[in-house]
Amino acid sequence: MRVLCITLNPAIDMTVSVVGLKVGEVNRATTAQSDPAGKGLNAAQILADLGMDAVASGFLGEQNASVFEELFAHRQQLASDESVGTVTDEFVRVAGETRTNIKLTDQGTTTDINGTGFVVGEQDKSALLTKLTKLAKDCQAVLIAGSVPQGFEMADFDALLSALTAVNDKVAVDVSGKALKVALKHQLWLIKPNDDELFEIFGQSAKTLNEQAALLAGLPIEHIVVSMGERGVHWFCGDEIYGSLPPKMTVKSTVGAGDTLTAGMMAGLLAGLAPTDILARATALSAHAVSIVGFKAASPDRLDELLAKVSVQPLQLS
């Protein structure tokens, strides 16, 4: 099973943990860690941990690509274990540096300081579109996730989604802002907004099940997964709705939790699991993600432990 995971604007995530952040003063880090990242790349690693082969693509700055290349070499070594899938490098290199994002975590609260990174030109965009269209034909599913880089306009994003959905009927999207507004017009397999992102797009509250259902009615999307942090997940799939509540966790970092949820949902759907099992596993995997710094799926034993604490049930509109 191969999944194409597209990250148009990857990053090097520098996660720094402090206790009691004091703005304007000297703070001492308790831990610091740098990871090659980006929503699609994060999801690719989780999918590979779950035994699927991920094809990672998008744009990558030439000047600091070695950080990502080391990750791909490491993933290749991990793939010697038959239970772990591969993460193949199919990124298009562009002039400049991939951005660095600083994540300040303070006892479960994360403050993001995101860099700007490279600027893509017309030749870069054309090369990527050609590559992705070809790759998507040979994969069982496609994920496009995260922000867009400088020089990549909403018209480009619209054209990319049109090209992908024309060759693959299982295109998943995890984006926000203007890109989410564009994505909602396309015939997608899966989309994963959170309640705040829906409010930003529609200008109406999306906190309750009924509010979400009213906003999402009629969209041409097979699976809509609304994440709400510790309040759980609502999954709209056709005429059915399921809800999950995660276990209480000691949060170390929320970075990658949403990407893990997306990967878990995709893996479960591709494996043909029962709906309640799909949502329970994805929720448990996401709960594990907030308990660690970095990107790694829960071990089988850890997953079983968390699954026992996840609540999943069918929901009805009131």
The residues carrying an active-site annotation are 259
Separation of alpha carbons 289 and 64, rounded Å = 26
Separation of alpha carbons 145 and 38, rounded Å = 8
Separation of alpha carbons 217 and 167, rounded Å = 26
Query: What's the CA dihedral at 179, 196, 262, 58 to 10 degrees?
Result: 30
User: What end-to-end distance do the CA atoms of the chain give, in Å?
Assistant: 39
Minimal CA–CA distance to 72: which of 93, 57, 86? 86
b (16+ CB within 10 A) / e for 52-71? bbbbbbbbbbeebbebbeeb
Minimal CA–CA distance to 120: which of 42, 9, 40, 7? 9
Separation of alpha carbons 312 and 185, rounded Å = 29
Q: Of all helices (H) and strands (E), which one includes residue 43?
A: helix 39-49
Separation of alpha carbons 68 and 178, rounded Å = 28
Q: Using DSSP bridges, classify how beta strands 233-237 and 221-227 pair: parallel, antiparallel or unpaired.
A: antiparallel
* Residue showing tokens 């693509």: 57
Minimal CA–CA distance to 90: which of 115, 65, 114? 65
Separation of alpha carbons 265 and 52, rounded Å = 13
